[in-house]
Amino acid sequence: MSNPANDQSVPQPAGIVERLVRDDVDRKRFLKMAGSAGAASFGAFVLAACGSSSKTASTAATTAASTSSSSSTGDLAILNYALTLEYLETDFYRGVVASDFFTGKVGGLIKEFGSQEMTHVEALKGAVEKLGGTPVTAPEAKFPIKSATQVALLAYTVENLGASAYLGQAPHIQNAEVLASALAIHSVEARHAATLGTLVKKSVTPDGAFAVPADMSTVLAAVKPFLA
Amino acid sequence: MTDRTINQTTLASPELAACEVHGMTRASFILRGALATGALYGTTAVAPFVSQALASTGGGDAEILNFALTLEYLESDFYTVKGKQVGLSGQAKSYATLFGAEEEAHVSALTAAIRQLGGTPVAKPTFVFPTTSESSFLALASVLENTGVGAYNGAGPSLKSKAVLASAGSIVQTEARHAAAIDLLIGKSPTPNQGFDRPLTKAEVLAKAGPLIKA
């Protein structure tokens, strides 16, 4: 997957988010940088945190920011982050559908949600490529699939997390097209979450009138246990 | 049919009419819808036109929020006032109570946000809801909530303030949750637009909401 020609000028996005999730050192570096910098160049920091470990973080950040327009760099990082989450959701639903825990109307909804997550994956890949980036590869995931109740609760958690992840990124997106696409997906994740809420007898609006966003580090920490 | 014609013939709300005339044009909304689709499926041809459309629009954040405020007034009135008149029971009643309170919170938040931006919040219009039964109430609730989702998603990319965008995003997620819950209750798909909620043009929103606004 590595493209040597691009290593210096444009950090390879493939596997970036996955590495952030897996690698505590990278993640701490990322958190430190994110905490010490403005949100405007948030995306550049994601790339920087995952850049070559031989560089200092600030050098990597400068490189990332100077070799690409800052808006597309940030949007690319956000899109690849969203793509990683969609891969995970797709993988999760694949396991749930295979489990045969759900039949009838609920089973139909689960299948539908799974295929909608797949369309999100395809759309995000297309968007990354359109911005001139390389879509990340799917992370290896392992979700516990033990019982109908456990799976439904996990699905509710996963969808709420997905919705809050999109909400957390929306204000950081620079490109109007990317934002429009992200919003179109965001509300669908919310619909999934609410549907699952009714299934597990939990609130359809767990945050009340105003949904609470989640930042990248919070979301990545939450999905980490599910990476194989 | 032009926006102006729509306003004058089908709307009784001066607030909405003003929003429409001074806000984004119908053409630019349509272009933006094309843009959203194009972005997802990789078509690049529409992008330059959309950029122009976005750049040429005159309505500011306060006007967009006033449009949203009118919709929130409509939703909160529907749940809290009409819901009581219809006489709901069971799940329909609990949703109306919960969602009504949440829509009222949206009204308060938008009112405050508009003032913060230096704008003047629109006055609460008078509404007329053609529902007399629980089933027709829920059917209309589905229309209103789904229209709300499309309205916010459509307006999102036009917002200039990132803080306002964050608030609008927080609200639209709640609207989407309401929509799904109501749709499930009446046996409809909780994802009527499949994987991607279609952003609505202001004209499309007005076509749904306008007839419910009496004055």
- Residuewise pLDDT in 10s, chain B (215 residues): 333 333 322 323 323 222 222 233 333 333 344 334 434 433 333 333 333 333 334 469 999 999 999 999 999 999 999 999 999 999 999 999 999 999 999 999 999 999 999 999 999 999 999 999 999 999 999 999 999 999 999 999 999 999 999 999 999 999 999 999 999 999 999 999 999 999 999 999 999 999 999 87
Cα A64 to Cα A78: distance, rounded to the nearest angstrom: 14
Could you give the ipTM of this predicted complex? 0.76
Within a domain: residue A3?
no
B153 to chain A, any CB pair closer than 8 A? The answer is: yes
For residue B152, list chain A residues with Cβ-Cβ distance below 8 A. 183
The number of folded domains in chain A is 2
Q: Is the same domain home to A40 and A101?
A: no
Name the residue range of residue A159's domain.
Answer: 72-226
For residue B35, list chain A residues with Cβ-Cβ distance below 8 A. 176-177, 180
Instruction: Collect all residues with Cβ–Cβ distance below 8 Å to A7 and sequence separation of at least 6.
Output: A52
**What number of other Cβ atoms are within 10 A of residue B189's Cβ?**
15
Picking from A116, A176, A197, the nearest residue to B157 by CB comes out as A176
Q: Is the same domain home to A48 and A87?
A: no
Picking from B40, B153, B170, the nearest residue to A211 by CB comes out as B170
Q: Is the same domain home to A37 and A81?
A: no
Ranges assigned E (strand) in A83-201: none
Q: Which one of A31, A48, A66 terminates a domain?
A: A66
Q: Is the same domain home to A27 and A50?
A: yes
For residue B166, list chain A residues with Cβ-Cβ distance below 8 A. 167, 170-171, 213
Per-residue confidence band for A70, with pLDDT thresholds at 50, 70 and 90: low
Picking from B39, B42, B180, the nearest residue to A178 by CB comes out as B39
- Tokens matching residue A157: 């958690």
For residue B196, list chain A residues with Cβ-Cβ distance below 8 A. 119, 123, 181, 184-185, 188
Predicted local distance difference test score (pLDDT) of residue A228 = 85
Residues B194/B206, Cβ–Cβ less than 8 Å: no
Residues B191/A185, Cβ–Cβ less than 8 Å: no
Within a domain: residue A153?
yes
Q: Is the same domain home to A51 and A84?
A: no
Q: Is the same domain home to A97 and A207?
A: yes
For residue A113, list chain B residues with Cβ-Cβ distance below 8 A. 191
Q: Is the same domain home to A89 and A55?
A: no
Q: Please report the number of interchain residue pairs, chain A to chain B, with beta-carbon separation below 8 angstroms.
A: 174
Outline where A131-227 has alpha helix (H): 148-169, 176-199, 216-223
Q: Which chain A residue's Cα is nearest to B193?
A: A188
Q: Is the same domain home to A153 and A119?
A: yes
B112 to chain A, any CB pair closer than 8 A? The answer is: no
Cα B87 to Cα B82: distance, rounded to the nearest angstrom: 9
- Taking CA atoms, B181 is separated from A205, A213, A214, B79, B187, in Å, by 10, 21, 23, 14, 10
**Backbone CA torsion sign across A9, A7, A130, A183:** negative
User: Inter-chain contact B98–A120, Cβ cutoff 8 Å?
Assistant: no
Within a domain: residue A179?
yes
Within a domain: residue A159?
yes
- Tokens matching residue A136: 């990340």
What are the backbone dihedrals phi and psi of residue A145, each rounded to the nearest 5 degrees, phi first? -125, 90
Within a domain: residue A198?
yes
Q: Which chain B residue's Cα is nearest to A167?
A: B169
Q: Which chain A residue's Cα is nearest to B105?
A: A209
Residues 78-97 of B with CB under 8 A from A: none
Picking from A112, A115, A170, the nearest residue to B166 by CB comes out as A170
Cα B171 to Cα B109: distance, rounded to the nearest angstrom: 10
Whether this prediction's pTM lies above 0.80 is answered by no
Q: Is the same domain home to A77 and A62?
A: no
B173 to chain A, any CB pair closer than 8 A? The answer is: yes
Shortest Cα distance, chain A CAs vs residue B30, angstroms: 13
**Segment A184-205 mean pLDDT:** 98
For residue A170, list chain B residues with Cβ-Cβ distance below 8 A. 156, 165-166, 169
Whether the per-residue pLDDT at A42 is higher than 90: the answer is no
Picking from B39, B54, B177, the nearest residue to A130 by CB comes out as B39
Q: Is the same domain home to A93 and A41?
A: no
CATH of the domain at A186: 1.20.1260.10
Predicted local distance difference test score (pLDDT) of residue A37 = 33
- Tokens matching residue B22: 């001074």
Q: Is the same domain home to A56 and A145?
A: no
Residue B43 burial by CB count (10 A; 0-12/13-18/19+): exposed, middle or buried?
middle
Q: Is the same domain home to A142 and A216?
A: yes
For residue B109, list chain A residues with Cβ-Cβ distance below 8 A. 209-210
Q: Which one of A43, A66, A89 terminates a domain?
A: A66
Helix, strand, coil shares of chain A as percentages rounded to 5? 70, 0, 30
User: Inter-chain contact A209–B166, Cβ cutoff 8 Å?
Assistant: no
Within a domain: residue A128?
yes
Predicted local distance difference test score (pLDDT) of residue A64 = 37
User: Inter-chain contact A177–B176, Cβ cutoff 8 Å?
Assistant: no
- Each residue of A95-138: pLDDT tens digit? 999 999 999 999 999 999 999 999 999 999 999 999 999 999 99
Within a domain: residue A79?
yes
A191: closest CA among A166, A215, A216, A170? A166
Cα A155 to Cα A160: distance, rounded to the nearest angstrom: 8
Whether the per-residue pLDDT at A73 is higher than 90: the answer is no
- The gap from C-alpha A149 to its chain's centroid, in whole angstroms, comes to 25
B194 to chain A, any CB pair closer than 8 A? The answer is: yes
Picking from A176, A204, A208, the nearest residue to B181 by CB comes out as A204
Amino acid at A90: T
Predicted local distance difference test score (pLDDT) of residue A184 = 97
**What number of other Cβ atoms are within 10 A of residue B136's Cβ?**
13
Q: Which chain A residue's Cα is nearest to B54?
A: A176
Quote the mean pLDDT of chain A: 78
Picking from B38, B163, B173, the nearest residue to A163 by CB comes out as B173
